[in-house]
Structure 1
């Protein structure tokens, strides 16, 4: 029994460290380039497009951009866009929030880390 608990704890720690490491190692400059695929729906200001504006997205509650009509699923999600939630959502948006209108996924870990690093630079000036 103790072996199982230790193994589970070690696995959890390893996953936490690898996720934290990947997020910490994001390259904002490359993320800016990768954001081109996002720009069909999103802008980096507080304005809305097909999707909500992403200025100040990191740390913001989900579905909180003014004048944007979010899906009921995202509005009810209770998420806050911290790095871990952004990473999970960008990896599989329709899995994290069933019923979201966002369908574009970013499957590569480093690409997500880079995009998140770029999103962190989008604070109001």
Structure 2
């Protein structure tokens, strides 16, 4: 009986460790976001549109930003699933996009990045915009 408990305890520890490793890590996602900062920022438009309030926003809808016709016509609403799909291969996902970055091929990197973006609205940078501009 003791051997069985030991085996079960070991198996449970392995499952917990595996789940912890696979759970999205927003801190690591912030490091992945550094790749995006050549064109994007959280709270203001650069070469590419801002990311505050990205989740739930329609693609191509930040007022005043000059999107490609492909992005404006994409009918995408950004959520975790559409971001994951788009970030894997942006130019294939939306042919004609002006985004020239080849994407984030690693699924764990994308999950971490999306976790970071999900929590970005809680940042001082995004809060400073006020609710109507996020």
- TM-score by length of structure 1 reads 0.77
Q: Which ranges of 4 or more aligned residues in structure 1 deviate by more than 3 Å?
A: none
The higher-RCO structure (CA 8 Å, 6+ apart) is 1
Cross-structure match for 1:119: 117
Question: What is the alpha-carbon root mean square deviation over aligned residues?
Answer: 1.5
User: Which stretches in structure 2 are left out of the alignment for 5+ residues?
Assistant: 1-18, 128-134
The structure having more radius of gyration, on CA atoms, is 2
Residue 25 of structure 1, CA deviation: 2.4
1:85-104 counterparts in 2 under 5 A? 85-104=82-101
Q: How many residues of Structure 1 are paired with residues of Structure 2 in the alignment?
A: 102
- Distance across 2 between alignment mates of 1:27 and 1:41: 23
- Give SS of 1:120's match: helix
* Of 68, 71, 81, the match for 1:84: 81
SS of the equivalent of 1:60 reads coil
Question: Does the aligned pair in 2 maintain the 1:57–1:122 contact within 8 Å?
Answer: no
Secondary structure of the structure 2 residue equivalent to 1:39:
helix
Equivalence map 1:31-70=2 (5 Å): 31-45=29-43, 47-70=44-67
* Deviation per residue, 1:76-98 (Å, 9 max, x gap): 00000011100010001011110
